Amino acid sequence: MISSMVMAQLVTRLLFLLVIFHYSIATDTLNPNQPLRDDQILVSAKETFALGFFSPGGSSKNRYVGIWYNKLRPAGQKTVVWVANRRSPVSGTNGSLELNGNGTLTINSMIFLPMPIVALTNPVAQLLDDGNFVIREANSSEFAWQSFDYPTDTLLSGMKLGWDLRTGLNRNLTSWLSYDDPSPGHYVLSMDLEGIPQLNVWSGSTKMWRSGPWNGTTFGNVGESPSDFRPHFVSNKDEVYLMYNTTGTKTQTRVVVDQSGMVRQFVWMESVVMWKNFFYCPKSECEMYSKCGRYGVCDINIWPTCSCLQGFKPKSPQEWALRDASSGCERLTALDCKNMTDGFMTITLAALPETSNAILYANISLNECSTKCLKNCSCTAYAIAKISGAGLGCVVWVTELIDLRLSSHATQDVFVRLAGSDLALISTKSSKKRQSKSVVLITVFSMVALIIPLIYLCSWGKKRMIHKDVRGNGKFELAQLQWSTLMEATHNFAKTNILGKGGFGLVYKGKLAEGHEIAVKRLSKNSTQGIDEFENEVTFIAKLQHRNLVRLLGYCIKGDEKILVYEYMPNRSLDAFLFGKEKSDHLDWQTRFNIIEGIARGLLYLHHDSRLRIIHRDLKASNILLDIEMNPKISDFGLARNFGDRETMIKTRKVVGTYGYMAPEYALDGVFSMKSDVFSFGVLILEIISGQRNRIFLSNPHLYLLGKAWRLWNDGKVLDLLDPLIGNSFSITQVMRCINIGLLCVQEKPEDRPIMSSVVIMLGNNDALLPEPKEPGFKAIFSTKHDTVSNQNDLHTFNDITLTEQTGR
Ligand SMILES: *[C@@H]1O[C@H](CO)[C@@H](O)[C@H](O)[C@H]1NC(C)=O
Ligand SMILES: *[C@@H]1O[C@H](CO)[C@@H](O)[C@H](O)[C@H]1NC(C)=O
Ligand SMILES: *[C@@H]1O[C@H](CO)[C@@H](O)[C@H](O)[C@H]1NC(C)=O
Ligand SMILES: *[C@@H]1O[C@H](CO)[C@@H](O)[C@H](O)[C@H]1NC(C)=O
Ligand SMILES: *[C@@H]1O[C@H](CO)[C@@H](O)[C@H](O)[C@H]1NC(C)=O
Ligand SMILES: *[C@@H]1O[C@H](CO)[C@@H](O)[C@H](O)[C@H]1NC(C)=O
Ligand SMILES: *[C@@H]1O[C@H](CO)[C@@H](O)[C@H](O)[C@H]1NC(C)=O
Ligand SMILES: *[C@@H]1O[C@H](CO)[C@@H](O)[C@H](O)[C@H]1NC(C)=O
Ligand SMILES: *[C@@H]1O[C@H](CO)[C@@H](O)[C@H](O)[C@H]1NC(C)=O
């Protein structure tokens, strides 16, 4: 027994020594006549990369020579960035990589890649710290050959993707066939020189995706680049290539064409010891090449996504009706090129239409360009071009336009040629549209918030003050307002002043004589509450004072009218920003993160920090109001419950809340607790990050946001969840942490969910270790028939204080 243990220890030590030995002889250079055997590796100077034989996916006998990250090993797996002999594996472990005396690399005496044409006299091969494997004369620093010129499926920092026109070298990326087979797969990412140079993903001879031309900072279809990933594009008579440089930054980054033809950027996340997918293309179906055919426009925000440009109609209405738009559109009226009666319609696209047949004119003005286009019968459109190397110029299309895309980030004005008669038809329509758009913008931006100090309210002819002591914890004062003051402020509760409809009545915008804006909630008359209860509850809510809770400023009782007055929130509710028509790029990552943190603090206050212990029970995006600085304020305490000191949960027979936000134990069993609020908060986090509603489609659980987030989390693609509107200026670490925290909050079992004080700490401290989440609680929802009541007042729910619930304790 003992001896076998000792033996085992000895063996372990021996193995350990062997490993040490193995690494200690590892060098970064390969000299002639010193072959690298199957069990040996080269390691770059700073131990970033290693080169040697490997078997992909742990599969058996096929051995390849490759380069992988030496230290970055998610779950112990090698991340291979280059394969030398992807078409011709060695079988068995007797392979060897050799540098011949003339500077040619061979595997088992076979040449597997184009090698230097001129024989070297004193060659060495060296694995560099950027992952480049080079051959050079021992006394020279010039590379005679480099692996960077023969990429596999991965682009590393410092690698060129594109052409050396002097030698005809074309560097492109080809996907692996499958995860355990590095032989060339179906997709190639290449720099194509036709028309204006751009990157394309090809599947055989079919174009799947195109980057659009370089605009000076990025390729049109790729969007803005992440801040620590600055690609640059070089186009001159000698070379046309894309390269990025992360040398000197701490992050390790790689760009890969995967087996499904997606171009993905991965970033190493040290905190979770994982590669995280950062950006990817194509991002949506609209980015699939020519999805809507000629003159068809794709807009991901509407359904169906394809439509025809104005002045055009579907070429094949039958196919379009069947949602196949690939046949595209045709003109309503043919162009009249001779009589100069044609004109141009301006459209604002996400990127330029396909430019492979377009013509570039440097140094000409838009006016000249317009004339040039009108004069040529085959010209269909023109646009301003900021093309690398050529300065400002103009692009002219002489073929039908394809691959047109709209998006909220649309930045490219394109002038499309139309027959004069079609143009006249459109111009009236579109000017109206533009007008209404600007009206919306003006109203959104011009509302100014003034938070009214309580003092002001107290001076409005108050009749009496409530001095109520809710639980023996001291006094609180609240202004009681006169009916006439409120009538005046809201123009007699004019319809035009209605801001929204809350659960318990309408909310009006009001303006006091001094100019202060207020939100006035008029409880519906059939509310059954008595005056004392109403006052009691007013006091209860008024005692809650926190910058992340909407502030109750005063109230009014007249006959059967009960009125509440709140601070006015000019930016309305979060759901309008996340999902509504106002959805736009207002919400960058920092704003979203601030909103998440603010809601967390507000909820923490409700649960633990206020003198009352309150469960909100109806936390959702429409109950989060935003002030002028986009600070979130939790509102609508209509379903809130006050907890006794000893109570941890309450069971109710009447479940009231909002589908999608209700924790399973509440929706199914009527049990609510602080942890059911935590669940709703988790849903909110994921909605804020994804810009998607957590809708419940009983017919299709796959559309369920929590399910989607959980799938992506497990696939290591959780950044796919990110709302594309967030843009690129965000901290991956922070996003990852937020998603992690969101998933922790929506775990099935209430006891697994963190309490709000932990959530606030986890959000605020990037170093706090996060537990791995368990599966979210959504299965039960889909597997049970439920007869809960959904709170339907989802549009602009404002503040409610009525606690009408009778709970069965
Ligand atoms: C390696 O072994 C295989 C069979 O095991 C043999 O066919 C092959 O010739 C060997 N190659 C070398 C380089 O020794
Ligand atoms: C170097 O030697 C190998 C094998 O001996 C040969 O195939 C190759 O053509 C040589 N290369 C040059 C540039 O002479
Ligand atoms: C390197 O050595 C070779 C001969 O071994 C010589 O011809 C060549 O000029 C040397 N190059 C440099 C840069 O010293
Ligand atoms: C990719 O590069 C290889 C080697 O230069 C070339 O043969 C191939 O045609 C290229 N493919 C594309 C789609 O450009
Ligand atoms: C290029 O496009 C990106 C994203 O569409 C945009 O942010 C950037 O401002 C553009 N650059 C120039 C020089 O137009
Ligand atoms: C890449 O970054 C390194 C280190 O910051 C710098 O020395 C080098 O010049 C950069 N290369 C390019 C092409 O920008
Ligand atoms: C050009 O104008 C003339 C006279 O107005 C008209 O007869 C002719 O059809 C027009 N040409 C085209 C191509 O529309
Ligand atoms: C464009 O015009 C400027 C000045 O007018 C000139 O310096 C530049 O060389 C021109 N560029 C090209 C590509 O013709
Ligand atoms: C119109 O443009 C096409 C494409 O550039 C060109 O081949 C043709 O010669 C032009 N026609 C005229 C009349 O300029």
Which residues are near ligand 3 (CB < 6 Å)? Answer: 121-122, 137, 139-140
Q: Is the CB of 119 under 6 A from ligand 2?
A: yes
Q: What spacing in Å lies between the alpha carbon of 104 and ligand 1's midpoint?
A: 21
Least confident segment among 249-253, 325-329, 536-540: 536-540
Closest among 371, 556, 369 to 457, alpha carbons compared: 556
In a domain, 273, yes or no: yes
Q: Assess whether pLDDT exceeds 50 at residue 464.
A: no
CA distances from 393 to 103, 365, 586 (A): 47, 7, 32
Q: Assess whether pLDDT exceeds 90 at residue 396.
A: yes
Instruction: Return the CATH number at 118.
Output: 2.90.10.10
pLDDT score for 667: 80
Q: Assess whether pLDDT exceeds 90 at residue 650.
A: no
For residues 221 and 269, membership in a common domain is answered with yes
Per-residue pLDDT band for 293 (boundaries 50, 70, 90) equals: very high
In a domain, 106, yes or no: yes
Helix (H/G/I), strand (E/B), else coil: 439: helix
Instruction: Return the CATH number at 544.
Output: 3.30.200.20
CA distances from 529 to 536, 587, 594, 797, 802 (A): 11, 39, 37, 20, 8
Q: What is the pLDDT of residues 222-233, one digit of tens each?
A: 766 666 677 889
For residues 485 and 359, membership in a common domain is answered with no
**Hey, which of 33, 99, 104, 108 would you mutate to test ligand 2's pocket, going by the most ligand atoms within 8 Å of its Cβ?**
104
Q: Are 26 and 36 in contact (CB under 8 A)?
A: no
pLDDT score for 75: 67
Question: Relative to the alpha carbon of 99, which ligand is closest?
Answer: 2
Q: Is the CB of 189 under 6 A from ligand 4?
A: no
Catalytic residue check, 618: yes
For residues 279 and 300, membership in a common domain is answered with no
pLDDT score for 188: 97
For residues 505 and 624, membership in a common domain is answered with no
In a domain, 460, yes or no: no
- What share of the chain in percent tops pLDDT 90? 34
For residues 241 and 211, membership in a common domain is answered with yes
pLDDT score for 166: 95
**Hey, which of 338, 339, 374, 417 would you mutate to test ligand 7's pocket, going by the most ligand atoms within 8 Å of its Cβ?**
339
Backbone angles phi, psi at 11, to 5 degrees: -60, -45
Average pLDDT of the segment spanning 540-549: 77
Average pLDDT of the segment spanning 35-63: 89
For residues 590 and 503, membership in a common domain is answered with no
Question: Relative to the alpha carbon of 140, which ligand is closest?
Answer: 3
Q: Are 653 and 666 in contact (CB under 8 A)?
A: no
The model's pTM: 0.59
Average pLDDT of the segment spanning 187-195: 94
Question: Relative to the alpha carbon of 215, which ligand is closest?
Answer: 5
Average pLDDT of the segment spanning 15-43: 74
Q: Assess whether pLDDT exceeds 60 at residue 797.
A: no
Helix (H) or strand (E) holding 24: helix 2-24
Q: What is the pLDDT of residues 586-636, one digit of tens each?
A: 688 888 999 999 999 899 888 887 767 788 888 999 889 988 878 899 987
Distance between CA atoms of 351 and 12, rounded to whole angstroms?
60
The count of domains in the chain is 5
The protein residue whose alpha carbon is closest to atom 5 in ligand 4 is 170
Dihedral (CA of 390, 396, 398, 401) sign: positive
Distance between CA atoms of 726 and 585, rounded to whole angstroms?
7
Largest CA distance in the chain: 104
pLDDT score for 699: 57
In a domain, 2, yes or no: no
From the candidates 618, 636, 794, 800, give the one annotated as an active-site residue.
618
Q: What is the pLDDT of residues 337-372, one digit of tens each?
A: 777 889 999 998 888 899 988 998 888 888 889 998
Q: What spacing in Å lies between the alpha carbon of 28 and ligand 3's midpoint?
A: 22
The protein residue whose alpha carbon is closest to atom 3 in ligand 2 is 104
Q: Assess whether pLDDT exceeds 60 at residue 474.
A: no
- Which range of residues forms the domain containing residue 141? 25-149
Q: What spacing in Å lies between the alpha carbon of 101 and ligand 2's midpoint?
A: 9
Q: What is the pLDDT of residues 256-266, one digit of tens each?
A: 998 778 888 88
By DSSP bridging, strand 80-83 and strand 62-69 are antiparallel
The protein residue whose alpha carbon is closest to atom 10 in ligand 1 is 94
Average pLDDT of the segment spanning 449-454: 25
Instruction: Kindly state the tokens that stand for 379.
Output: 């010209």
Domain boundary among 127, 149, 171: 149
Least confident segment among 22-26, 208-212, 495-499: 22-26
Q: What spacing in Å lies between the alpha carbon of 128 and ligand 3's midpoint?
A: 22
Q: Assess whether pLDDT exceeds 90 at residue 142.
A: yes
Distance between CA atoms of 655 and 643, rounded to whole angstroms?
17
Instruction: Return the CATH number at 685.
Output: 1.10.510.10
Helix (H) or strand (E) holding 22: helix 2-24
In a domain, 368, yes or no: yes
In a domain, 725, yes or no: yes
**Hey, which of 139, 140, 141, 143 would you mutate to test ligand 3's pocket, going by the most ligand atoms within 8 Å of its Cβ?**
139
Instruction: Give the residue carrying structure tokens 């109520």.
Output: 468
Question: Relative to the alpha carbon of 728, which ligand is closest?
Answer: 5
Domain boundary among 567, 596, 623: 567
Q: Is the CB of 362 under 6 A from ligand 8?
A: yes
For residues 589 and 721, membership in a common domain is answered with yes
For residues 52 and 90, membership in a common domain is answered with yes
Q: What is the pLDDT of residues 507-526, one digit of tens each?
A: 899 988 777 788 888 887 76
The region that residue 432 occupies, defined by phi over 0 for left and psi between -120 and 50 for alpha, beta otherwise, is alpha
pLDDT score for 264: 84
Q: Which atom of ligand 6 is nearest to the CA of 243?
A: 13
The protein residue whose alpha carbon is closest to atom 12 in ligand 4 is 190
Per-residue pLDDT band for 121 (boundaries 50, 70, 90) equals: very high
Average model confidence (pLDDT) for the chain? 79
For residues 408 and 320, membership in a common domain is answered with yes
How would you list the strands of the sheet with 123-127, edge to edge? 29-30, 123-127, 133-137, 143-146
Closest among 401, 405, 427 to 343, alpha carbons compared: 427
Q: What is the pLDDT of residues 750-784, one digit of tens each?
A: 999 999 988 988 888 777 778 889 988 876 555 54
Which span out of 353-362, 451-460, 582-591, 781-790 was modeled with the highest average pLDDT?
A: 353-362
One-letter amino acid for residue 447 of the chain? M
Q: Which atom of ligand 2 is nearest to the CA of 104?
A: 1
One-letter amino acid for residue 620 of the chain? K
pLDDT score for 803: 26
Q: For residues 622 and 465, which has the higher predicted lDDT (pLDDT)?
A: 622
pLDDT score for 297: 93
Q: Assess whether pLDDT exceeds 50 at residue 118.
A: yes
Q: What spacing in Å lies between the alpha carbon of 379 and ligand 7's midpoint?
A: 19
For residues 627 and 767, membership in a common domain is answered with yes
Average pLDDT of the segment spanning 92-106: 93
In a domain, 466, yes or no: no
Q: For residues 385 and 243, which has the higher predicted lDDT (pLDDT)?
A: 243
Domain boundary among 123, 149, 175: 149
The protein residue whose alpha carbon is closest to atom 2 in ligand 8 is 363
Q: What spacing in Å lies between the alpha carbon of 375 and ligand 9's midpoint?
A: 9
pLDDT score for 18: 45
Q: What spacing in Å lies between the alpha carbon of 93 and ligand 2's midpoint?
A: 25
One-letter amino acid for residue 158 of the chain? G
For residues 379 and 356, membership in a common domain is answered with yes
Per-residue pLDDT band for 301 (boundaries 50, 70, 90) equals: low
Q: What is the pLDDT of residues 691-743, one digit of tens each?
A: 988 876 555 666 688 888 998 998 888 888 988 888 777 778 888 899 999 99
Per-residue pLDDT band for 428 (boundaries 50, 70, 90) equals: low
Q: Assess whether pLDDT exceeds 90 at residue 318.
A: no
Q: Is the CB of 248 under 6 A from ligand 6?
A: yes
In a domain, 9, yes or no: no
pLDDT score for 746: 94
Instruction: Kindly state the tokens that stand for 649.
Output: 């949960």
The protein residue whose alpha carbon is closest to atom 8 in ligand 1 is 94
For residues 252 and 270, membership in a common domain is answered with yes
pLDDT score for 457: 30
